[in-house]
Structure 1
């Protein structure tokens, strides 16, 4: 009975991690084809900044440096700050470069384009970092009669899956901050996005290092995801009827 509940929880998590980003891509194909390039721009921004650059550096380059090993083992709070703010630096800078590349030679961009970029960025993260792991676990459970890991519960899996909804919302909001900065030609908005991203990730790491419960860390993610989602909705008013950002609203 418990294994059936766990399997159902994993399936729900997989549907969330893959269904939201792929469902949004289908929506773009059907209704807003002009924004597909922004969606895949977001995908590329995450893959390049994290999978190709930051994660390999953290796993294979920095462990060869004494200062990094000392920080990792003896200064866990500083280490959490380091991980959080490097994530913000790499990902938000990648968003900035991605937008500048796609928008080169153009004067107009819509709010929906920013949402599409954020959905691509957050969506591919959900699929690669969470969804793929859930698929792997599901395959192992189906193909094996071995005892289930008691540390993996249906509740934790469900919470982890639903947490991706708020993580994607966070990425959409952060993306719109970067886009706003590009449209008004003020790089301080890029710095703001890096700061927000860094605080969000660092605090989650610090809470974990201090022994906070899994549920408290997830609550932190929900709070920030909700806040950035509200911002994403509210900032639509900064766009005129044709979707051009209204710089007079600064």
Structure 2
């Protein structure tokens, strides 16, 4: 069995930075939307709830059917898996936006609340994936470096201990820069989610299906490139691409929806 390895201070700093970005950027956007445009705080929770329902519940049920039951995986059919993963994210999240704005935001569907919806959609994703996940990673890292993790593992049954060690090994085998990159990815993701939300808002208000189709296509493209190119290019090249696409989407949608 592999031994527990000390986590570098650089990796720990990367996790801390990711936590700060993931938890504070959504709050900063909420304050901006509230003060600048008088958007309703309750709309943030509509966006957050829609993400939880469509991405964390309905999409996961689809993954269970396709991946667990159907047997699709990156090992047996890499490119089909990448296409499916990106398409599922685009279909469920963009459809969720349409449902939320058309039915749950009918009486408040304007630019300020479309903006706040996007902050809720992207913000809860950042808090859950970038914030809470990295808080858990940070606790594990500190326990490993203090020796407390080895003491905890020692009392576990061998099979459970080996499984836990395998999961924990990512904390010392992952390059330190990747932990920091995760925080910047969450910022780009929030920006993208806001842009896509404004694009769907524009599609509904102007009754232009092309804008909605564009939102689906952009979401698919960003996710497909992110998952398919991760093994071939530097993580920071991917982060720059995602950031450029996110900012471009936001600027385009902002101009169209104002």
Trace 1:187-226 onto structure 2 (pairs within 5 A).
Answer: 187-208=209-230, 211-226=232-247
1:150 counterpart = 2:152: no
Structure 1 stretch displaced more, 197-206 or 150-159:
150-159
Report if aligned partners of 2:66, 2:72 keep a CA contact under 8 Å in 1.
no
RMSD of aligned Cα (Å): 2.6
Secondary structure, counterpart of 1:74 in structure 2: coil
Q: CA deviation at 1:180?
A: 0.5
Q: Specify which of 20, 33, 36 is matched with residue 41 of structure 2.
A: 36
Following TM superposition, by how much is the alpha carbon of 1:71 offset from its aligned partner in structure 2, in angstroms? 5.9
The corresponding residue for 2:251 is 230
Query: Which structure 1 segments of 5+ residues have no match?
Result: 240-250
Matching of residue 46 in structure 1 with residue 65 in structure 2: no
- From 88, 97, 102, give the equivalent of 1:86: 88
d(CA) in 2 for partners of 1:182 and 1:44?
20
Contact 1:93 1:190 in 2 (8 A): no
The corresponding residue for 1:112 is 112
Which position in structure 1 is the counterpart of 2:135?
135
The one of 171, 175, 195 aligned to 2:193? 171
1:132 deviation in Å? 1.5
Aligned length: 231
1:243 equivalent in structure 2: none
Task: Give the TM-score of the pair, scaled to structure 2.
Answer: 0.79
Equivalent position SS for 1:150: helix
Partners of 2:34 and 2:191 in 1: CA distance: 21
Structure 2 spans left out of the alignment, 5+ residues: 1-5, 151-168
Give the deviation of 1:173 after TM superposition: 0.6
